[in-house]
Chains A and B, each alone.
Chain A
Amino acid sequence: MSTDPVVKTIHVALSPQAAFDLFTKRIGDWWPVETFSVSAGQGKPSQSVTLAGGIGSEIVEIAADGSRHVWGTVRDWAPGKSFVTTWHPGREASFATKLLVAFASEGDGTRVTLTHSNWDVLGEEAVSSREGYDGGWVVVLGQFEAAV
């Protein structure tokens, strides 16, 4: 039902490590910034989207107008296996959702599985400073203002 996490999975012909590196440190090589970015919501694709990698690193967008937007902060980092990041593009960090991406060897490639859910699913791990509001499933909804 509509309150469940979004789960997506694909197979790519890369090793788990290569798939992991492409997804994370090379996010700028593939993220569709012309349709999904804070900048796209302003009518132009971003200049860049980067992620340095490692716990505490941020996914950062530099919009067409030069403004800087943090989409999320890495909470867990297991190169070649999985990573977890908060996800709040275009919004404050205190109302973040959770993004988990896992990479598993499959055949001669990798099965990539993405799970986008509400932090409440983790209970105690919920992001702090929610001002008493529990979040609920609605927080799972995407925040970009897509250029549709």
Chain B
Amino acid sequence: MAYQSAFSALADPTRRAVFEHLANAPSSVTALADKLPVSRPAVSQHLKVLSDAGLITVRSKGTRRIYAASPDKLAELRAWLDTMWDQALSAFAAQAEKDSAQ
């Protein structure tokens, strides 16, 4: 289940808000805590979960750590969703084919 941790990580609404923010612009922990109704320790905790799920990256800028959403993982998740609907509609079409043959 390649995407389980990513989907689980995104199931929490606050964590999703943190990720959404990072997808828009790279940020430090302080900047995130300032912009969102979340405390610094909570932000750090969410960042850890997101990082473990491979959804974000971090780089050092001087003494600060800047977090950003990982574009590769986003693309993977999007592709998964796309595949799911392709497969669901293929299955639908296959049954429709059987129906129309009767």
Q: Which residues of A contact B10 (CB under 8 A)?
A: 138, 141
Asked if A36 is at the interface of the complex by the 8 Å CB criterion, the answer is: yes
Within 8 A of B (CB), among A98-145: 109, 112, 114, 116, 130-145
Within 8 A of B (CB), among A1-46: 2, 6, 8, 10, 12-14, 18-19, 22-23, 26, 29-32, 35-36, 41
Asked if B93 is at the interface of the complex by the 8 Å CB criterion, the answer is: yes
Q: Tell me whether A145 and B3 are in contact (CB under 8 A).
A: yes
List 18 A-B residue pairs with CB atoms under 8 Å apart, sorted by A's residue number. Answer: A2-B78, A6-B82, A12-B92, A13-B96, A13-B100, A26-B95, A29-B95, A36-B84, A41-B4, A109-B100, A112-B92, A116-B85, A133-B14, A135-B16, A136-B16, A141-B80, A142-B84, A148-B1
Which single residue of chain B is at the shortest CB-CB distance from A2? B78
14 further A-B pairs in the complex, CB-CB below 8 A; given A30-B92, A142-B80, A144-B84: A2-B74, A12-B93, A13-B97, A14-B99, A19-B96, A36-B87, A114-B85, A116-B81, A135-B16, A138-B20, A141-B7, A143-B11, A145-B7, A147-B1
Asked if A91 is at the interface of the complex by the 8 Å CB criterion, the answer is: yes
Task: Digitize B65-102: 1 where CB-to-A-CB distance is under 8 Å, 0 elsewhere.
Answer: 00000000011011011101111110111111101100
Q: Which residues of B contact A144 (CB under 8 A)?
A: 84
Q: Which residues of A contact B82 (CB under 8 A)?
A: 6
| Count of residues in B whose CB is under 8 Å from the partner chain | 37
Q: Tell me whether B100 and A30 are in contact (CB under 8 A).
A: no
Listed residue (B37, B77, B93) with the most chain A CB atoms within 10 angstroms of its CB: B93
Which single residue of chain B is at the shortest CB-CB distance from A95? B13
Task: Digitize A33-73: 1 where CB-to-B-CB distance is under 8 Å, 0 elsewhere.
Answer: 00110000100000000000000000000000000000000
Which single residue of chain A is at the shortest CB-CB distance from B6? A141
Which single residue of chain A is at the shortest CB-CB distance from B92? A30
Q: Which residues of B contact A2 (CB under 8 A)?
A: 74-75, 78
Asked if A146 is at the interface of the complex by the 8 Å CB criterion, the answer is: yes
A141-B81, A145-B4 as given contacts; A114 in contact with B89, CB under 8 Å: yes
Q: Which residues of A contact B4 (CB under 8 A)?
A: 41, 145
Q: Which residues of A contact B13 (CB under 8 A)?
A: 95, 130-131, 133
